[in-house]
Chains A and B, each alone.
Chain A
Amino acid sequence: MSIRWKKQPSSFLASFLPPVLWLAIFFIVPMAIIWLYSFGESTSLTEISLTGTFANYAKVFDSLYIGILVKSVFIAGLTTVLCLVFGFPIAWLMTFVGPRTQGLLLLAVMLPFWTNLLIRTYALIAVLRTEGYVNTMASWFGLGPYPLLYNNFAVLVGLVYVHLPFAVLPLYSALDRLDRSSLEASLDLGAGHLRTVFYIAIPACWAGIFSAAFITFIPALGSFLTPELLGGPSGQMIASVIERQFKRANDWPFGAALSFLLVYLTIAIVLCRNYFERKKAQGGEA
């Protein structure tokens, strides 16, 4: 299939160099600078000297920031779990319907996903605010008004709302590859549907579930817009803190350290996933 590049050096370089240069200049260099800044100190309003200090990372352990970091991880984790729980039955249904219904369901899952994030967040504001639809309906029954917006609950609802399709698609593609005869065997041997799901389906597509979790957790952890618009002062997550360091507080080295903490976390999760996948592949061969 693929050939040694020296056989056709000109066509190799023509196809290889532009993307590599683009990636190096417009991605690796900017990220590297932020990484260097995370070991630097602000010497004046615009100057940053790279002193190799770890003070910025140490500052994270300040109770204020570590609290927000832990809360962000917790909310992103809860979002992931809820997305998997809500999404799994849909993915399951999609796997077992006819091709036409399947296409329609897929479209229905994807449509909100392709819709502008800001508009979806705005739509949630309209639903959750004090004069919003939920509270208006509650008032018909003499209930409420409930404080549904500008708190951690709103952030959680928003993150689940935004990331649910992220979870459904990998779940669906994992379940679609499932060996159906083992499901049938389980059902024939007298196991109930739930038992079959928990003891046969879920263990068999663990990798797919893990990748659905991964694809939901990372963007949820780093999300800025949803907590910013739905959260209010008490509902902030780590991205808002990063933004503040870069824009208002003008403490770039600390902001850089915070954003690289997110990058380190992401890398750790990716490595973790790769490790599990390799282990699973080896187990499959043995």
Chain B
Amino acid sequence: MSAKKNRAPLAYGRSKRLWVWTGLVFLFLYLPLLSVMLFSFNDSRRTIVWQGFTFRWYEKLAGNGELLQAFGNSLFIAIVCTILSLILGSLSAFALWRFKFGLKSAFDSAMTVPMVVPEICMGVAMMVFFTRIVPWPVGLSWPFNLGAIIISHTTFAFPFVAMVVRARLNSFNMEFEEAARVLGAGPFDVIKDITIPHVRPALIAGGLLAFTLSLDDFVITFFTAGPDTLTFPVKVYSMLRFSVTPEVNAASTLLIVITALVTVLAMRFTGKSGVTAGKE
């Protein structure tokens, strides 16, 4: 190592310029979000001038039945989509990992297509499918009126789960399974006691991913939603079309806080992989 320099050659962690650059970019990423959160407590309709602290907008939010209903719809859709995606995703990951079969590479590439196809294309395809080809019955009672949206969300979310679970399965040592079999475990005991515990972090990460993807989705829902099915992003979108109100600030703040909590929890439970899952 060169003794001439004050800094070891690769000690970029101590480079001031890099930190300043990173700080500026983070400022760009966070300042808008923080200002939305701050001004959700601002006692003024004109959101820009600070007029004092208030919970008024949160109270108004609690009284906004339509927005709450939309939020409830979004949560329900996300939960069902997460469950379905975990089932379908793990099954396909298992099939691809465990078996050799003729159409394997075709199936493998078909699974990646929903992840890369532009959302708008999938949105219009789903809209045509659910209005013309296999019309989703209208006038169903809640939650059955959400079926088309749930199906669409599951279609784009489960390949992500499959990808995360498959990556984890690749590190599975088959000798464990053989050992369990030798020691008298049946095939289902092996899956229950050996395989599933091994992939649990991937299941958590994949589940959180599916949940967020569904909760976040605007475009596909925008096309598949019927007139009487409102989700949170679609409702916020229509509110934004009319005007920017402090109520939206309050709703956004709630969702930002929920997201931050979920992300931190994901990192706690699964390490780095839980946060970056499928997004690399």
B-binding residues in A (CB < 8 A): 1-5, 8, 11-12, 14-16, 18-20, 22-23, 26-31, 33-34, 37, 86-87, 89-90, 92-93, 95-98, 101, 103, 105-108, 110-120, 122-127, 129, 131-133, 136, 161, 164-166, 169-170, 173, 180, 183-184, 187-188, 218-219, 221-225, 229, 239, 242-243, 246, 252, 255-256, 259-260, 262-263, 266, 270
How far is the CB of B202 from the nearest CB of chain A, in Å? 16
The answer to whether B252 and A122 have CB atoms under 8 Å apart is yes
Given contacts A116-B233, A188-B9, A224-B219, contact A93 B18 (CB under 8 A): yes
How far is the CB of A204 from the nearest CB of chain B, in Å? 14
The answer to whether A123 and B10 have CB atoms under 8 Å apart is no
6 pairs of residues in contact across A and B, judged by CB atoms under 8 Å: A96-B13, A126-B39, A127-B35, A169-B279, A170-B280, A259-B118
Closest 6 CB pairs of A and B: A222-B118, A123-B32, A30-B129, A19-B92, A30-B125, A97-B13
Given contacts A98-B13, A125-B240, A262-B120, contact A4 B256 (CB under 8 A): no
Residues of A within 8 A of B275 (CB): 106-107, 110, 114
One of B29, B100, B116, B158 near A266 (C-beta < 8 A): B116
One of B46, B127, B267 near A246 (C-beta < 8 A): B127
How far is the CB of A247 from the nearest CB of chain B, in Å? 8
Nearest A residue (CB) for B130: A30
Residues of A within 8 A of B21 (CB): 89-90, 93
A97 to B14, alpha carbons, bound, how many Å? Answer: 8
Nearest B residue (CB) for A241: B120
Q: Is B69 an interface residue (CB 8 A)?
A: no
Q: Is B244 an interface residue (CB 8 A)?
A: yes
Residues of A within 8 A of B107 (CB): 16, 20
How far is the CB of B278 from the nearest CB of chain A, in Å? 10
The answer to whether B100 and A4 have CB atoms under 8 Å apart is yes
A26 to B174, alpha carbons, bound, how many Å? Answer: 34
Please provide the chain B residues from 105 to 136 with a CB less than 8 Å away from any CB of chain A in the complex.
107, 110-111, 113-114, 116-129, 132-133
A33 to B127, alpha carbons, bound, how many Å? Answer: 11
Q: Is B218 an interface residue (CB 8 A)?
A: yes
The answer to whether A33 and B259 have CB atoms under 8 Å apart is no
A-binding residues in B (CB < 8 A): 2, 9-13, 15, 18-19, 21-22, 25-26, 28-33, 35-36, 39, 46-48, 87-89, 91-92, 94-95, 97-101, 107, 110-111, 113-114, 116-129, 132-133, 151-152, 154-155, 158, 162, 174, 187, 212, 215-216, 218-219, 223, 232-233, 236-237, 240, 244, 248-249, 252, 255-256, 259-260, 262-264, 267, 272, 275-276, 279-280
One of A3, A14, A92, A119 near B12 (C-beta < 8 A): A92
How far is the CB of A27 from the nearest CB of chain B, in Å? 5
A11 to B36, alpha carbons, bound, how many Å? Answer: 51
A8 to B264, alpha carbons, bound, how many Å? Answer: 41
Given contacts A111-B263, A126-B32, A169-B280, contact A89 B18 (CB under 8 A): yes
Given contacts A3-B99, A19-B92, contact A116 B259 (CB under 8 A): yes
